[in-house]
Structure 1
Amino acid sequence: MGIMEIIGIAGSVSLLAGWRLYLCIFATGLAMRFDALPVPENLASLAVLENPWVMGIAGVAAVAEFFADKVMWLDSAWDAVHTFVRPVGGALLALAIVDPSDPATQVVAFLLGGGASLLAHGGKASARAAVNTSPEPVSNIAVSTVEDVATVGLLYLAYEYPYVAGGIALVLLALAIWLLLIARRIIRKLFGAGKPTETG
C-alpha cells in the first residue's frame, strides 16, 4: 500500500470519526483483525485497536451513539460532550493507520487527523442543531440514519479500495464545510427573525 493510499485512508477515517467515532474505532479494529489494514510489528500499541475488549467497548458505545443520535436535543447534548472526544479519537485513528517508521508522517497524521475530526464534528453538530429547530422528530431520525449508512459505506470503500480513499476524504471535507455554512445560515436566519423590530 502506497503512502497516498495510507494518507487517504487516514484522512477518510478521521473525517468519519467526527461523525461516528465509536463505529470507526470498531471498524478499524475489525479491519486490522482481518488484515484489511496491516498492523506494523514495530508498534505494539496498534494491537489495542483489535483487542476484543476495545472492540467490545467501542461496539457498545457505537450502539449507544446510534440511539442517542435519534432523539431530538439528546443528539446535540451527545455532540457537545464529544467535542473533546472525537478530535482526539480521530487523531489517534489517523496515527494508528500511518507507517510508524516515519515520525514526521506520524506527527502530520496526528495533527491533520485531529483537525479533520474536529471539522467534521463541527459540521455534524451544527447541522443537527439546525435540524433540531424543527418540531417534528422525523427529520432528526432521517438525518441520523443517513449518517449511519454513509459512515458504514464510506468506511468500507476506504478500506476495500484504498486508491479511492483520498477522493472520499476530499468529498467528506467539502461536505463538512458545506454543512457548517448551511447551519450558520439557518441559525443566523432563526436568530435574526427573533429580534424585535424597532417602532418609531
Structure 2
Amino acid sequence: MDILVTLGRTLGFSMAAGVNLYATVGILGLAARYGWVSLPEQFKVFDHDIVIYSSLALFVIEFVADKIPWVDTLWDGVHTAIRPLGGALIAVSTLGEANPMMQGIVALLGGGLAASSHLTKAGARVTVNASPEPFSNWILSLSEDAFVLVLAGLALKYPILALGVVAVAFVVCLVVLGMVVGTLKRLFAQRRRALLGDQPA
C-alpha cells in the first residue's frame, strides 16, 4: 500500500507538472509549509521561500500568457524541455530514499508523464489557435488549470485515486496526441495546397 501511495503522489505531481510546472511546485511548497496533509520528510525540499514565491510569481505570468492565442504556443515551446525535466525532478524529490536504479526508473516515469501531458497541451493549443475565435482557447486554458489543481489535490490527499487518474489521463493523452497530429497534418496539407494553387502556372 505504501508503494502505491508514493507512486500516486510522485506520478500525480509529475503529470500535473507537464501541464503547469509552476502551479504544481507552488502547491507542493504551500502544502509542505502549512501542513495541509501529513507528508513525508522529503517534501520539505519544497518548503523554501525562494521556491514558493518564485513558483507563484511564474504561475501568475503563465496564467496570463496561457490565455493569449499564440503567446501560449510560444510559452509552451520554451517549456518543452523545462516541464519534462521538472516532472522528473519532482518525481525523484518526492520519492524519498531509494536505490539509484529505482531513482532512475522513477525519474524516467516522471519525465515521460510530464512530457506526455505537455505535448498534449501544446499540440491541442496549436490546433485551437488555428480557429478565429479566442473563447475555445480560454476554456481550454481554464480546464488545464482546473486539471492541475484537482490532480495535485488528489495526489496530496488521495494518492491512490490520483494514481488511477494518472493512468486514465495517460491513455487520454495518447489518444488526443494522435488526433492532434492528424489534424495538424490536414491543416498543413490544406495550407500547402492553397499556396501551390495561388502560384501562377
- TM-score normalised to the size of structure 2? 0.90
RMSD, matched Cα: 2.0
* Larger helix fraction of residues: 2
- Whole-angstrom CA distance in 1 between matches of 2:74 and 2:95: 32
Question: How many Å apart are 1:81 and its aligned residue?
Answer: 0.3
Q: Does 1:87 align with 2:80?
A: no
Contact persistence 2:45–2:93 (CA under 8 A): no
Where does the alignment leave 5 or more consecutive residues of structure 1 unmatched?
none
- Whole-angstrom CA distance in 2 between matches of 1:15 and 1:100: 21
Give the aligned partner of residue 16 of structure 1. Answer: 16
Runs of 4+ in 1 over 3 A off after TM superposition: none
Q: Does 1:146 align with 2:143?
A: yes
Cα–Cα, structure 1 residues 30 and 52, in superposed 2: closer, same or farther, change >3 Å? same
Cα–Cα, structure 1 residues 173 and 119, in superposed 2: closer, same or farther, change >3 Å? same
Percent of aligned positions with the same letter in both sequences?
35
- Which one-letter code corresponds to 2:39 in the other structure? P
Where does the alignment leave 5 or more consecutive residues of structure 2 unmatched?
none
Aligned pairs for 1:30-41 (under 5 A) are: 30-35=30-35, 36=37, 38-40=39-41
Contact persistence 2:11–2:91 (CA under 8 A): yes
- Which one-letter code corresponds to 2:24 in the other structure? C
- Whole-angstrom CA distance in 1 between matches of 2:32 and 2:130: 40
Contact persistence 1:98–1:105 (CA under 8 A): no
Contact persistence 1:17–1:89 (CA under 8 A): yes
Contact persistence 1:13–1:155 (CA under 8 A): yes
- Whole-angstrom CA distance in 2 between matches of 1:21 and 1:196: 39
The range that moved more, 27-36 or 67-76, is 27-36
Contact persistence 1:17–1:117 (CA under 8 A): yes
Give the aligned partner of residue 160 of structure 1. Answer: 157
- Whole-angstrom CA distance in 1 between matches of 2:16 and 2:9: 10
The range that moved more, 6-15 or 66-75, is 6-15
Give the aligned partner of residue 28 of structure 1. Answer: 28
Contact persistence 1:26–1:59 (CA under 8 A): yes
Please give the per-residue CA displacement for 1:160-190, whole angstroms capped at 9, x wherever unaligned: 1122121011022112212211211211121
- Whole-angstrom CA distance in 2 between matches of 1:185 and 1:93: 32
Please give the per-residue CA displacement for 1:28-87, whole angstroms capped at 9, x wherever unaligned: 1122223435343xx6xx534110221000001011111100000000000000011101
Cα–Cα, structure 1 residues 196 and 163, in superposed 2: closer, same or farther, change >3 Å? closer
Aligned residues: 196
- TM-score normalised to the size of structure 1? 0.90
- Whole-angstrom CA distance in 2 between matches of 1:104 and 1:33: 30
Secondary structure of the corresponding residue to residue 177 of structure 1: helix
Give the aligned partner of residue 65 of structure 1. Answer: 62
